[in-house]
């Protein structure tokens, strides 16, 4: 799964990277870098309308159009690639509302033999580039307030891990290569078989990772130091891990 990630790039940087326009609300925006993005946060997404791409925002945790209230989104931060076409929650968005979720890296927690507490790992591009996570988005209207503006929400698609990420977790975000962006974002592309072929593990060669501080476990912490590598001391069998 993907439950925390890093979004440290400014909207204009993301727009240049994805050759996209900025949503009007983001034109003069300078949001604080987020080194600990948690579910239900407002996040950046890349959408397409016809042939035009734009960078916009969405609430992380997809709320299907038929949902009675927004709380269901907290359970839908990820969508399994294997069941997109059949899931009641995601199949409509898979057909026509696909997006990219830009990320500068993400966190996973590695089980340590003999330990109850898992070790957080920061997973990022080995070349320092950013990830383009495959995502879905939806618009939700509050049935109790039909005149309110619709809420845009999103989810990150996960699939089988490559051999690098498999050392830490049995799932990983689907990472789209640049030559797949147009196909994925095209709202007129309803070829689910073709789209499904894009949902494969990224090459292990592009991935790097290192252990980071347990401070990332608290979603209220948001400092650049969260992604700094920490040293784990060798320990005698049965001893607790101590991070330097």
Share of the chain above pLDDT 90, in %: 86
In a domain, 214, yes or no: no
pLDDT, tens only, 51-102: 899 999 999 999 999 999 999 999 999 999 999 999 999 999 999 999 999 9
Enumerate long-range contacts of 68-76, CB under 8 Å, 24 or more apart. Answer: 68/143, 69/142, 70/140, 70/142, 70/151, 70/153, 73/39, 73/40, 73/153, 74/39, 74/40, 76/155
In a domain, 222, yes or no: no
Predicted confidence at residue 114, as pLDDT, reads 77
What is the rounded CA–CA span in Å between residue 166 and residue 90?
Answer: 25
CATH of the domain at 162: 3.90.1680.10
In a domain, 166, yes or no: yes
| Residue 173 · residue 37 · CB < 8 Å | no
Q: How many domains does the chain have?
A: 1
Predicted confidence at residue 241, as pLDDT, reads 43
41 pLDDT more than 80: yes
The residue segments making up the domain with residue 83 are 5-107+130-206
Predicted confidence at residue 231, as pLDDT, reads 87
In a domain, 200, yes or no: yes
Q: Which of 50-54, 172-176, 234-238 has the lowest mean pLDDT?
A: 234-238
Q: Is 13 a catalytic residue?
A: no
In a domain, 221, yes or no: no
Instruction: Say which of 99, 108, 138, 154 is annotated catalytic.
Output: 108
164 pLDDT more than 60: yes
| Residue 126 · residue 208 · CB < 8 Å | yes
Instruction: Say which of 2, 99, 138, 154 is annotated catalytic.
Output: 2
Return the bridge partners of 47, or none. 54
In a domain, 19, yes or no: yes
Predicted confidence at residue 89, as pLDDT, reads 95
pLDDT, tens only, 95-139: 999 999 999 999 999 988 777 889 999 999 999 999 999 999 999
Q: Is 51 a catalytic residue?
A: no
Q: Which of 22-36, 137-151, 186-200, 223-237 has the lowest mean pLDDT?
A: 223-237
Predicted confidence at residue 233, as pLDDT, reads 58
In a domain, 117, yes or no: no
Predicted confidence at residue 151, as pLDDT, reads 97
In a domain, 53, yes or no: yes
Split at pLDDT 50, 70, 90, the class of 1 is confident
What is the rounded CA–CA span in Å between residue 133 and residue 85?
Answer: 18
Split at pLDDT 50, 70, 90, the class of 43 is very high
């Amino acid at each position: 799964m993907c439950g925390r990630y890093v979004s440290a790039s400014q909207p204009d940087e993301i727009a240049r990277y994805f050759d996209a326009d900025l949503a009007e609300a983001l034109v003069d925006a300078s949001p604080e870098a987020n080194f600990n993005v948690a579910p239900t946060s407002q996040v950046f997404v890349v959408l397409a309308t016809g042939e035009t791409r734009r960078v916009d925002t969405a609430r992380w945790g997809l709320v299907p159009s038929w949902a009675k209230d927004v709380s269901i989104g907290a359970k839908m931060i990820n969508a399994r690639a294997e069941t997109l076409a059949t899931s009641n929650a995601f199949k409509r968005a898979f057909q026509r509302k696909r997006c990219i979720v830009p990320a500068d890296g993400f966190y996973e927690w590695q089980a340590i033999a003999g330990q109850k507490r898992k070790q957080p790992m920061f997973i990022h591009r080995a070349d320092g580039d950013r990830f383009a996570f495959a995502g879905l988005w939806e618009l939700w209207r509050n049935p109790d307030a039909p005149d309110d503006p619709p809420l845009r929400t999103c989810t990150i698609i996960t699939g089988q891990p490559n051999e690098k990420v498999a050392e830490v977790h049995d799932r990983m975000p689907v990472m789209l290569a640049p030559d797949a962006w147009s196909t994925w974002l095209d709202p007129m592309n309803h070829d689910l078989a073709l789209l499904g072929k894009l949902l494969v593990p990224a090459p292990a060669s592009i991935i790097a990772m290192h252990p980071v501080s347990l401070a990332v476990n608290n979603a209220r912490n948001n400092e650049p130091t969260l992604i700094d590598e920490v040293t784990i001391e060798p320990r005698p069998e049965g001893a607790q891990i101590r991070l330097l």
